[in-house]
Amino acid sequence: MHLAYPAVLSALLFCTGLYGVLARRNAILVLMSVELMLNAVNLNLVAFDVWLSRAARDTLHSGQALTLFTIAIAAAEIGIGLAIVLAVYRNRGTSDIDQLRDTAEGHGGDGPDGGTPAAEKAEATA
């Protein structure tokens, strides 16, 4: 098989995953898009390893070995990511990324977008 076929397929998979990361609002769909991008990289690693192994017969197949490590790391990443998303969903009631951005500020932070301004809060406590 020619090298262009898996390379084009890998580029299409990576672009689809990149679109999913940039356009999606749901955290689980973003994690799935990251996995799609990692699988595109794995396809490239295996394709180039096979292509390069034709030139030199005595190779270690390092691209395929690196792909196995990448799959193991991706499985651990998705397990931890899903655990975090489920914990946030239980606490917040949503997995929408736009609503999760204010996690550091809390539910009613100070400022113009939520809660009471700091000066009004100081007058209320005095």
User: Both tokens of residue 103?
Assistant: 């996690």
The pLDDT tens digits of the residues spanning 83-94 come to 999 998 898 888
pTM over 0.75: no
Residue 99 has a pLDDT of: 78
Which pLDDT score, from 0 to 100, does residue 15 have? 97
Q: pLDDT tens for residues 22-60?
A: 998 888 899 999 999 999 999 999 999 888 887 666 667
Q: How far apart are CA 73 and CA 4, in angstroms?
A: 27
| Backbone dihedral angles phi then psi of residue 54, each to the nearest 5 degrees | -70, -30
d(CA 29, CA 82): 11
